[in-house]
Structure 1
Amino acid sequence: MDLLDRIFLSLKTQGKVWGRVTLGGRYGLAFPKQHAVFIAVMAGNCLINQDEGPLIALNEGDFLFFPAASRFHLRSNAEVAFTTPLTALQLATWQETSILEYQENTVAGVSLVVGCFTLISAEAPLLFQELPSVLHMSANEADILSRQVREMMRDEIASREPGASPTIDRLAEILMIRTIRRAVRDNAWIGGSGWLRALSDARIHRSLQLMHDDLSLIWTVSRLAQAVGMSRSAFADRFRRLVGVTPMAHLTRWRMAFAADLLRSDRKMKIESIASKVGYLSERAFREAFLKTYSCSPNKYRKT
Structure 2
Amino acid sequence: MDVLAHMMSLMRTKGSLYGRLEFTAPFGFWFPADNGVCIIVTRGSCFLSVDDSPLVSLVGGDFVFLPTPKQYTLRSSPELSVRSMLEVASQEEFHRTRLITFDGGQGPSTSIVAGCFSLASPESDILVKHLPPIVHLQGSGNHTTPWFQSTLQFIASEVAQNLPGGTAIVDRLAEVLFVQAMRSRIGSSSPTNKPSWLHALNDPQIGEAIQLMHAEPGRPWTLDELARNVSMSRSAFAERFRKLVGETPLDHLTQWRMVKAGNMMRANPPIKLAEIALATGYESESSFGKAFRRIMGVSPGKYRASNRDLAEV
Contact 2:186 2:200 in 1 (8 A): no
Range with bigger deviation, 189-198 or 208-217: 189-198
1-structure distance, mates of 2:288, 2:269? 17
Contact 1:153 1:168 in 2 (8 A): yes
Q: Equivalent pairs: percent with the same residue?
A: 35
Residue aligning to 1:270: 272
1-structure distance, mates of 2:33, 2:68? 10
Q: Pick from 174, 177, 182 the counterpart of residue 184 of structure 2.
A: 182
Please list, as runs of the form range in 1=range in 2, the aligned pairs for 1:87-236 lying within 5 A after superposition: 87=86, 89-105=89-105, 107-141=107-141, 142-188=144-190, 190=192, 192-236=194-238
Cα deviation per residue 1:158-206 (whole Å; 9 max; x = unaligned)?
4433211211111111112112212321324525423223223211111
2-structure distance, mates of 1:117, 1:158? 19
2-structure distance, mates of 1:241, 1:186? 16
2-structure distance, mates of 1:295, 1:53? 29
TM-score (norm 1): 0.92
1:4 aligns with 2:4: yes
Residue aligning to 1:74: 74
Residue aligning to 1:281: 283
Residue aligning to 1:33: 33
Q: Pick from 292, 295, 298 the counterpart of residue 294 of structure 2.
A: 292
Contact 2:223 2:250 in 1 (8 A): yes
2-structure distance, mates of 1:123, 1:173? 18
2-structure distance, mates of 1:253, 1:213? 14
Q: CA distance change for structure 1 residues 28 and 258 in 2, over 3 Å: closer, same or farther? A: same
1-structure distance, mates of 2:240, 2:246? 10
Contact 1:11 1:120 in 2 (8 A): yes
Q: CA distance change for structure 1 residues 106 and 269 in 2, over 3 Å: closer, same or farther? A: same
- State the secondary structure of the residue aligned to 2:113: strand
Contact 2:18 2:159 in 1 (8 A): no
2-structure distance, mates of 1:295, 1:46? 40
Q: How many correspondences in the alignment?
A: 303
- State the secondary structure of the residue aligned to 2:218: coil
Range with bigger deviation, 247-256 or 126-135: 126-135
AA partner of residue 249 (structure 1): D
Cα deviation per residue 1:6-29 (whole Å; 9 max; x = unaligned)?
212221222333311111242211
2-structure distance, mates of 1:23, 1:279? 54
Ranges in structure 1 where 5+ consecutive residues have no aligned partner: none
Contact 1:130 1:196 in 2 (8 A): yes
- State the secondary structure of the residue aligned to 1:121: coil
AA partner of residue 279 (structure 1): G
Residue aligning to 2:256: 254
TM-score (norm 2): 0.89
Contact 1:122 1:261 in 2 (8 A): no
AA partner of residue 236 (structure 1): A
